[in-house]
Amino acid sequence: MRILLDEMLPAAVATLLPDHTVVTVRKAGYAGLVNGDLMRRAVTDAFAILVTADQNLPAQQSVRVIGIAVVRVRGGRMARIEPQAARIRAAVARASAGTVTRVEPG
């Protein structure tokens, strides 16, 4: 599955999803795009999931209409994100277009 990793997250988050093709926003050439444009471009370019730390994104964008799955994680540093690895993988596995899945530390 093709996953887009938002700018708010460290690129190393990709290592937590070894069974997927994970591309950073920067590497995809989307750096600087606003959320709506970013998500529409991702769908056009066949990304199935956007992994982000942007907690406001679902309130600002119509994820259902745009048609991309969003997995929201807490934290901007690997030290905080890495303990959530199993929950992130589970969220990615069950994500479907137009949905938002929250991964909470715990």
- The predicted-structure confidence for 29-57, as pLDDT tens digits, reads as follows 999 998 899 999 999 999 999 999 998 88
pLDDT score recorded for residue 80: 93
Q: pLDDT at residue 76 above 90?
A: no
Distance CA 92, CA 50 (A): 9
Mean pLDDT value across the chain = 93
Q: Report residue 61's pLDDT band, with 50, 70 and 90 as the boundaries.
A: confident
* Architecture of the domain spanning 2-103: 3-Layer(aba) Sandwich (3.40)
Task: Give the global pTM.
Answer: 0.94
Residues ≥6 apart with Cβ < 8 Å to 51: 3, 4, 5, 6, 9, 13, 17, 22, 70, 71, 73, 88, 92
